[in-house]
Amino acid sequence: MENGLSRPGEFTVPIPGSPEDDRLRAAIRDGLDRGKSRSVPRRRKRWSLGAASLLLALVLVTAGAAKVSPAIARALQQIPSLSGFLKLIGEDSALRSAIDMDLLQPVGKTVENKGIRLTVDALIADDRRLVIFYTTNMTAGWEKSVKIKILDENGTELKGSIRTNHSAMGKTAYQPRGPQDYVDVLLQQGETMPDRVTLKAELDGTMLETDLDIDTGRSEGMAKTYELNKTLSIEGQKLTIVRARQTPLQMEITLRKDSANTKEIKGFLNLRLIDGTGKQWIDNTGFLGNEIMSLAFQNSYFDSPGKLTLLADGFYMFDKGQKVVVDTEKKQVLQAPDSRLKIGGSSSIQDNRSDYQVMALELTALDPNDRHYIGYNMLSNTFTDGQGAVHKIAYPDRFQASESETSKDAVTLFYPLPNGSFPQPLTFDVEDYPGYAKMPVEVELMPKQK
């Protein structure tokens, strides 16, 4: 710590030359003892995990001092695997600070089926985000990824985005994953976190299922809303920043597109959020809609950022109402927004799988700004054949949509079609396409805090 000083909630424990387990126990014990001697209302505490959590995560292999807040000390007693999860979440300041502020909920539920085992160690939630930490023996490479669903009390999947298989990041398809992982759920606007969810995990047809109670009261009343209603206009296309909403686990920005726009706005060019300390907040995900869209960012709820400013270099946008028409038998693109779209690879239809066939299209001549937005869901999930019949693409929720190489100015997009032949040509609606307009954007989201 700078100048030998500790911040509130951080406690320095000298570590002598003793066994590593004794070091950890001493640090935990000290944190617990000090925690008992303090009584601070939860919502007024200003503890910071910072280097403390990193030292805790590495305490078994490092010397020096372990900095342990009372909340972390309690959590480590209840959840011995916590240090491994801290490594996994990396630089997610929202999760780290929320754990330090005692929002982590120990679970300790294990389910097993046909030798496959999964233990839910803990979870953390607010009214929009849910993170479930688990340990499992399903550690094969990501070529056998664990398929996870989160359902509400009525058996309906939560509406929003879900991120899984974090332990496979940076590894090849056949490298084993670690036993610890987590599920990260972001609810879309209008949805509220239920008090109970069901986690379903599937590997090679074997299903594991467990119910999880969520103590939503831990974060109740902690949301902060900043009404903005700031309208931006670039080349006649308007986008209003309606509000910013801050919860312990994320910063959510609500945007409204003008109904008179002739172009579809899909996001900001080079978007970043900068706080008063100069730190850039990392974006988690975004939800697009016909009128309303939202963006979610990692958060520093429990630290005072001074102020928070949205900066961007323009809009990503493309013309509305466009079509892509493909003759898959002749391997030709008959109609497209521009000449950059071509048949991808050596053929438009790759080798048939057991239950679908793959159409590959290639977007070429992408400049650096276009390439930054790689991962286009370019075409609709339905298409119309040459006789006017409408078909759905196969497995839209379980298919790798694109691949690219950083050394190239192109991206290949893959679309799974049902097996069989179709009257040609096939017509798709365009739901995304490269394009942008530049203009400096700067909007203050949060007032300067004194």
pLDDT tens over the chain, length 450 residues:
333 332 222 222 223 333 444 444 444 444 444 443 333 333 333 333 333 333 333 333 333 334 567 777 777 778 888 878 888 887 788 888 888 888 999 999 999 999 999 999 999 999 999 999 999 887 766 556 678 999 999 999 999 888 887 776 766 656 777 788 999 999 988 899 999 999 999 888 899 999 999 999 999 999 999 999 999 999 999 999 999 999 999 999 999 999 999 999 988 999 999 988 888 887 766 766 779 999 988 887 887 777 899 999 999 999 999 999 999 999 999 999 999 999 875 444 444 456 788 888 999 999 989 887 766 678 998 999 999 999 998 865 545 455 555 557 888 888 888 988 999 999 999 999 999 999 999 999 986 655
Phi, psi of 99 (to 5 degrees): -65, -40
The confidence score (pLDDT) of residue 59 equals: 38
Q: Annotate 382-405 with b (16+ C-beta within 10 A) or e (fewer).
A: ebbeeeeeeeebbeeeeeebeebe
- Residues in Cβ contact with 68 at an 8 Å cutoff, skipping those fewer than 6 apart: 10, 11, 13, 27, 28, 30, 31, 52, 56, 76
Question: How far, in Å, CA of 76 to CA of 131, rounded?
Answer: 18
Instruction: Output the six-digit token pair for 313.
Output: 């270099």
Question: How far, in Å, CA of 448 to CA of 67, rounded?
Answer: 30
**Torsion on CA atoms 263, 267, 271, 274, rounded to nearest 10:** 120
Instruction: Output the six-digit token pair for 68.
Output: 């342990």
Neighbours of 85 (CB within 10 A): 24
The confidence score (pLDDT) of residue 449 equals: 58
The confidence score (pLDDT) of residue 142 equals: 58
Pairing between β-strand 116-125 and β-strand 129-136 as defined by DSSP bridges: antiparallel
The confidence score (pLDDT) of residue 435 equals: 94
Which of 397, 398, 396 lies closest to 382 in space, CA to CA?
396
Question: How far, in Å, CA of 357 to CA of 363, rounded?
Answer: 20
- CB of 269 closer than 8 Å to CB of 294: no
The confidence score (pLDDT) of residue 70 equals: 78
Instruction: Output the six-digit token pair for 363.
Output: 């977007």
Report the 3 state secondary structure along the chain: CHHHCCCCCCCEEECCCCCHHHHHHHHHHHHHHHHHCCCCCHHHCCCCCHHHHHHHHCCCCCCCEEECCHHHHHHHHHCCCHHHHHHHHCCCHHHHHHHHCCCCEEEEEEEEECCEEEEEEEEEECCCEEEEEEEECCCCCHHHCCEEEEECCCCCECCEEEECCHHHCCCCCCCCCCCEEEEEEEECCCCCCCCEEEEEEEECCEEEEEEEECCHHHHCCCCEEEEEEEEEEECCEEEEEEEEEEECCEEEEEEEECCCCCEEEEEEECCEEEECCCCEECEEEEECCCCEEEEEECCCCCCCCCCEEEEEEEEEEEECCCEEEEECCCCEEEECCCCCEEECCCCCECCCCCCCEEEEEEECCCCHHHHHCCCCCCECCEEECCCCCEEECCCCCCCCCEEECCCCCCEEEEEEECCCCCCCCEEEEECCCCCEEEEEEEEEEECCCC
Question: How far, in Å, CA of 199 to CA of 132, rounded?
Answer: 9
Question: How far, in Å, CA of 379 to CA of 386, rounded?
Answer: 17
Task: Report yes or no on whether pTM surpasses 0.85.
Answer: no
Distance, CA of 291 to chain centre: 22
Question: How far, in Å, CA of 6 to CA of 1, rounded?
Answer: 6
- Residues in Cβ contact with 65 at an 8 Å cutoff, skipping those fewer than 6 apart: 12, 13, 14, 15, 55
Q: How many residues does the chain have?
A: 450
What CA–CA distances, in Å, run from 435 to 233, 335, 405?
16, 18, 20
What CA–CA distances, in Å, run from 118 to 82, 109, 184, 209, 231?
16, 8, 16, 9, 48
- CB of 127 closer than 8 Å to CB of 192: yes
Question: What is the dihedral sign for C-alpha 323, 380, 166, 170?
Answer: negative
Report the half-sphere exposure of 87 (CA within 13 A, side-chain side).
14
